[in-house]
């Protein structure tokens, strides 16, 4: 009986040892696979983050460019209207054709000129 047990243990050890050695190699491979998956996911998330940042930066640059364009248009229009209102209002007020309307146009010209000055300094 003892001899049979020894033979059984030798056969068992002979069969189990390669399985354990192979399993330890698979654990290393599993760790490498997990590292590869983690680095792939990190790379994917980094590319999404970089893409999103680029889109936001581009949109922000376009928005700033548009606000500068609007600022220059409003400044130019305010300046032109202030000069026009001032000339017409001064003529109407000083000639006596319509002093009340002329005075309002001159006041509007002054307010538009102030608006243009405020806009250019924003």
Q: What integer pLDDT is reported at residue 59 of this predicted model?
A: 94
Cβ-based burial of 96 (10 A; exposed 0-12, middle 13-18, buried ≥19): exposed
Q: How confident is the model at residue 119 (pLDDT cuts 50, 70, 90)?
A: confident
Q: Pick the residue with more confidence: 91 or 48?
A: 91
pLDDT of residue 107: 94
Q: Provide the 10 A C-beta neighbour count for residue 29.
A: 10
- pLDDT given for residue 120 in this prediction: 86
The model's pTM is 0.58
Q: How distant, in Å, are the alpha carbons of 16, 18, 19, 35 from that of 25?
A: 14, 11, 10, 15
Domains of the chain: which residue ranges? 2-120
Mean pLDDT of the chain: 82
């Amino acid at each position: 009986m003892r001899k049979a047990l020894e033979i059984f243990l030798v056969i068992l050890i002979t069969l189990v040892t390669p399985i354990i050695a192979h399993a330890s190699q698979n654990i290393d491979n599993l760790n490498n696979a997990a590292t590869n998956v983690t680095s792939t996911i990190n790379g994917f998330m980094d590319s999404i983050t970089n893409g999103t940042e680029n889109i936001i930066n581009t949109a922000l640059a376009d928005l700033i460019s548009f606000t500068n364009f609007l600022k220059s248009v409003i400044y130019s229009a305010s300046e032109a209207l202030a000069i026009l209102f001032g000339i017409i209002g001064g003529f109407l007020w000083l000639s006596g054709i319509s002093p009340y309307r002329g005075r309002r146009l001159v006041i509007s010209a002054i307010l538009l000129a102030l608006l243009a000055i405020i806009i250019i300094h924003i």
